[in-house]
Structure 1
Amino acid sequence: MQSSHHDSGFTVRLADPDAGRPGAGSASAGAPATGATGAAKGKSFPQRRRNRHGRGLRGELMLPTLPGYRTRSDRFDDLVLDSAQRLHDIWGKPLDGVRFGVDEIPPGLERLVADRTPAPMGSYSPATAEEGPVITLYRRVVEQSCGSREELQDLVHDVVVEYTAEMLGVPPESLDPVYRRRY
């Protein structure tokens, strides 16, 4: 998933869940192959909307206008996007080319648990010759540290501010005036 905003050079890319699956990027993956009977072939059973007898679900279980339509992962991605956009509105040019990512858990979590080390809420990868810097938040770790949606929104923003401040080499309090002042 990639979101480009009106400012040139500022993009936010989040982890694409379909990136690892074969055929996810092909144009014909969404078009069903039809045979002489008109039944969809080539799709697995869970991908078909109706079962082989013509019965089954005819539409979406949850309408897009209802709040339950979006998953927790989607809402978390929106919180990261909002925080990244807020920082970009404040700082502008220094944040051009920075990518913000979301992963489920940090790599090597088993080793951290075995060593009784607290799991990090995010990470910062400096820029390389091929791509710009990447700030990654770990969704499960951040969500488990919060009790409510308001706390989650504040904590996501604080983690984004902390790792962006680490990247820029400035204190987090100077990066965003409301850093840790909402609690």
Structure 2
Amino acid sequence: MLPPHLPAYRTRAGEFDHTAVIAFAEIDRLWHERLTGLDVAVDDIPRMIPRDLETVQWPEEVTADGPVPLARLIPAGVDEAGRPTRAQLILFRRPLELRARHDDLPDILREVLIQQVATYLGVDEETVEQGPEN
């Protein structure tokens, strides 16, 4: 058991969350005013694995590596009780971690977040990277 003040105290999930927050902060800095209606969350695994893995075609709101979803954008809407819901960008931790080698998780997260934010904003990925003024 390690004391909470030591870096090794963090869990893998905690490390992932920390890395995701840092990756999203860069994008949020550029687009904050347009991202206030978007929640970012992390699930360990996707709950939407297709039956036919060879021919799956994901909709635009899913970022995937072949048949494996890495992230999903759920648009704002209305729940079963008629209450409004906020848009959600959900990162799938385990599939993203499995695709990362050594120290490239931040790069993979950044790429996936850029794709998802571009879909949310209705702009291309280059525009997300450059910011709204460019």
Find the counterpart in structure 2 of residue 162 from structure 1: 115
Between the aligned partners of 2:86 and 2:28, the Cα distance in structure 1 is: 15
Q: Report the structure, 1 or 2, having the larger strand content.
A: 2
Alpha-carbon separation, structure 2, partners of 1:88 and 1:108: 27
Between Structure 1 and Structure 2, the one with more helix by share is 2
Structure 1 residue corresponding to 2:33, chosen from 69, 93, 109:
93
SS in structure 2 at match of 1:155: helix
Equivalents in 2 of 1:153, 1:85: separation in Å? Answer: 12
In 1, distance between residues paired with 2:111 and 2:53? 26
Q: How many residues align?
A: 114
Gaps of 5+ in 2: 57-66, 79-83
Answer with 1 or 2: which has the greater Rg. 1
C-alpha displacement at 1:153, in angstroms?
0.7
Question: RMSD of the TM alignment (CA)?
Answer: 1.6
The answer to whether the aligner puts 1:128 opposite 2:77 as a matched pair is yes
Q: Distance in 1 between matches of 2:53 and 2:119?
A: 25
Structure 2 counterparts to residues 8-157 of structure 1, below 5 A: 61-109=1-49, 111-112=50-51, 115-116=53-54, 118-129=67-78, 130-149=84-103, 151-157=104-110
Superposition TM-score, scaled by structure 2 size: 0.78
Cα shift at 1:65 = 2.4
Aligned equivalent of 2:125, options 159, 172, 175: 172
CA distance in 2, matches of 1:139, 1:92: 24
Distance in 2 (CA, whole Å) between partners of 1:80 and 1:108 is: 21
What amino acid does structure 2 have at the position aligned with 1:140?
R
What is the TM-score of this pair, normalised by structure 1?
Answer: 0.58
Identity value in percent: 28
Distance 1:98 1:68 in 2: 31
Cα shift at 1:148: 1.1
1:35-91 superposed Cα distances (whole Å, 9 cap, x missing partner)? xxxxxxxxxxxxxxxxxxxxxxxxxx1012222100110011112212222212111
Structure with greater contact order relative to length (CA < 8 Å, sep ≥ 6): 2
* Runs of 5+ consecutive residues of structure 1 not aligned to the other structure: 1-60, 178-183
Moved over 6 A (4+): none
Q: CA deviation at 1:115?
A: 2.6
